[in-house]
Structure 1
Amino acid sequence: MDISKKKFGELDGKPIYSYTLKMANGFEVTSINYGCIITDLKVPDAKGQLENVVLEFDRLEDYQEYSPYFGAVIGRVAGRINKASFSLEGKTYNLPVNDGNNHLHGGNTGLDRVVWEATLLEEKDFIGVEYSYLSPDGEEGYPGNVRLKVRYTIDNQCKLTISYEGTSDQATLLNLTNHTYFNLSGNGKRDILQHVLTLKSDQFLELNDELIPTGEFLPVQNTAFDFQQGRTIEEGILSTHPQNILAGHGYDHPFILTSNYNREILLEDPESGRSLTMETDEPCVVLYTGNQLAGDFKIRDLTAKKYLALCLETQKHPDAIHHSHFPSIVLNKNEVYRSHTSYTFSVSK
């Protein structure tokens, strides 16, 4: 086990550092204290070749200018908040409008765009880095001074665990996730259309034309949203289902999980032999298939293009503050917010 630290860049005169966690078997995760961004995640393929399976930049400036939330912690609230406002304890809060008429992923300067403090962790069975940040009362329009911790740990089983913790001195909203873009082919050599996804989910949330949940739960049965027995991502890209078309010919949908800590999310790339198994205590996962991933920028030596990678964002239901039948994302004064998701990588021989 090894932990290394090096300077990644500089922001407003403050150094930004990268922290690399590496196991003896070659499993390696690198993150930076800007946005808790995971910049590299190296795992072997079926032939033992180590390659990066996430999208990333190698310059801080590119994250600031181009990044569609590559690898970052998202908050205070992941996803969209309808009309960029909400009411809590009799008071209305107005948030930055940064996605059409709505508020997206914590605003213009969400948790993905701030500098976190880092503490290195080294135990007998794992190594890690713990990031901490105080989000002040009123930041991006949200109430409460919120103390946050995000912990990344890895072990010899090729498992990355992300743990979140938060407390507030007054009632607020909190719904965190990680926005890593996965491509199991390795170094982005192919798109993700032939990746096979299996989800323990029999419902997904219907979206309106602004990609806000309508509040309706739709059954997956007999649709391109049924991943219970596994299906390729391409099937959803080619689907004529109105919800696939609405999302830009793909997925940008919350799937309601029917099981937790039970191999509920499985992503496989048959050609490389790599697979990713995710387990979480969250009630849903947002599948985003990179439908809008395009632009005049390079992702290291790759050109940005649709379907180059996908996100699996474990969280509570988006826009929950406007739907009383969704799990609550209200964090009351002195309560402790906790969330855990693990990512275990393996290969088929």
Structure 2
Amino acid sequence: MVKRSGLVRTAVAGLTVCFGAGVTQVISSETAFAADTDNSKVEKFDKYKGHQVYEYTIQNKSGLKVSVLSQGGTLHGIYVPKGAHDKRNILMSFKHTKQYYDKNAASLYVGQQIGPVGNRIHNGKFKLDGKTVSVPTNENGNTLHSGNHGFNSVRWQGEVGTYEGNPAITLRHTFNSKYIGFPGDIQATTRYVVTDNNQVKVLMSAKSTKDTVFDPTIHAYFNLGQEKTIQNQELTMNSTQRLQLNKEKVPTGKLLANTGAYDFSKAKPLKEHLDPLMKTKEQGFDTMFKVSQGDNDQIAKLSDPKTDRSVTFLSQRNALVVYSGNAIDKKLQFESGPGRQHAAIALEPQTLPDAVNHPSFGDVSLKAGETKTKEITYQVDY
């Protein structure tokens, strides 16, 4: 390490870190393996399919830490301080990259970045500029989470630094149209930012060479407490309606009123919502709720009364997909231990699913040469 005129520069195997005048800039490459600052770090995580996977870590002044993997742009952890040297990951995560893609876990998309379009596209077809577009299908003739070559399938190029004065991880990847199967070559940039008021912001941007569609999300699974399921945690939501689905979980275009187990207007244990659904085929929620924005774009809040931890979800989009971990079982070995049904809950802000086939659901178009950014914010309190 060499100091010159108040500027500190560290070079490590293709990684350059500069500190000076309150500015942090980190440039990484495939050969980069480590960079430590007061609030950011890049480390080798492991290898997947013969390629190096990196873990990017940032934290704010109070010690709230965010961890992201280069493979899949995966949100690997949000760690809340428990003590001076002890942190608790409120997300479900795996110890090894390959576990995210094992046959027992692949359909869960644990923590992965989903895009260019989240959830299902009916028959893998939609109209764009008056023409029928066909995209790759991967579930019962439909397209789920953009098919097998979506945002979660690739190694992203990453760097740690700052964004608007806050610690940030920036990931970039250009998706060739022939690979991803959607119109246009898509230049995607995703920033994970942690602020001093304990907000974790995810800013997902895209620019395409042709008119296309863009409505990404993050498939993070939350368990805020110290218990092995989310049964005693509470979820509230700014929602009075949900989408009616066909047997393949594709929206019919109709809306249903949120009554009974689907009414999240008041806080009560998730067990009271889940128990009435245990005799159904799903044994829980895999439900697309239509949401409205409250103060500061709040759409939902998950809380754990026992630990006094909570995450408030902020989004300007009109849907929250809720999946209560119905298919999680003991075959899955998470960092926190063996899996089990309802071990965690996935809460995915996006536009109402299959909007490409239902114009009234919202506009998910992206014009050629235009850049659009979709933001998800997790307000973490503990």
- 1:298 pairs with 312, 330, 333, which one? 333
Task: In structure 2, give the amino acid aligned to 1:59.
Answer: H
**Residues 205-216 of structure 1 mapped to structure 2, 5 A cutoff:** 205-216=243-254
Give unpaired runs (5+ residues) of structure 1.
none
Offset from partner CA, 1:214-267 (integer Å, 9 cap, x none):
1111122x42211122232222222259xx935x12111121122152433111
Aligned-pair CA distance for 1:148: 0.8
Say whether the 8 Å CA contact 1:134–1:148 is kept in structure 2.
yes
Which residue in 2 is equivalent to 1:342?
377
CA distance in 2, matches of 1:121, 1:149: 14
CA distance in 1, matches of 2:268, 2:100: 32
RMSD: 2.2
Task: In structure 2, give the amino acid aligned to 1:298.
Answer: Q
Which residue in 1 is equivalent to 2:203?
163
TM-score normalized with structure 1 length? 0.91
Which residue in 1 is equivalent to 2:316?
281
Which residue in 2 is equivalent to 1:19?
56
- 1:311 pairs with 346, 358, 362, which one? 346
- The structure showing larger relative contact order (alpha-carbon pairs under 8 Å, at least 6 residues apart) is 1
- 2:146 pairs with 106, 130, 135, which one? 106
CA distance in 2, matches of 1:174, 1:117: 20
**Residues 214-229 of structure 1 mapped to structure 2, 5 A cutoff:** 214-220=252-258, 222-229=259-266
Which residue in 1 is equivalent to 2:123?
83
Task: In structure 1, give the amino acid aligned to 2:161.
Answer: L
CA distance in 2, matches of 1:142, 1:49: 44
Which residue in 2 is equivalent to 1:258?
292
Q: Secondary structure at the match of 1:224?
A: helix
Q: Secondary structure at the match of 1:231?
A: coil
Of 151-160 and 85-94, more deviation after overlay is shown by: 85-94
Give unpaired runs (5+ residues) of structure 2.
1-37
1:179 maps to 2:216: no
Task: In structure 1, give the amino acid aligned to 2:260.
Answer: T
Say whether the 8 Å CA contact 2:41–2:160 is kept in structure 1.
no
- 1:322 pairs with 357, 361, 365, which one? 357
Aligned-pair CA distance for 1:12: 5.0
TM-score normalized with structure 2 length? 0.83
- 1:136 pairs with 176, 190, 193, which one? 176
Aligned-pair CA distance for 1:209: 1.2
Of 175-184 and 137-146, more deviation after overlay is shown by: 137-146
Q: Identity of counterpart residues, as a percentage?
A: 27
Aligned-pair CA distance for 1:34: 0.9
CA distance in 2, matches of 1:18, 1:332: 33
Task: In structure 2, give the amino acid aligned to 1:51.
Answer: R
Aligned-pair CA distance for 1:155: 1.8
Say whether the 8 Å CA contact 1:199–1:230 is kept in structure 2.
no
Say whether the 8 Å CA contact 1:78–1:177 is kept in structure 2.
yes
CA distance in 2, matches of 1:72, 1:139: 19
Of 6-15 and 154-163, more deviation after overlay is shown by: 6-15
Offset from partner CA, 1:140-161 (integer Å, 9 cap, x none):
3211111111100102222111
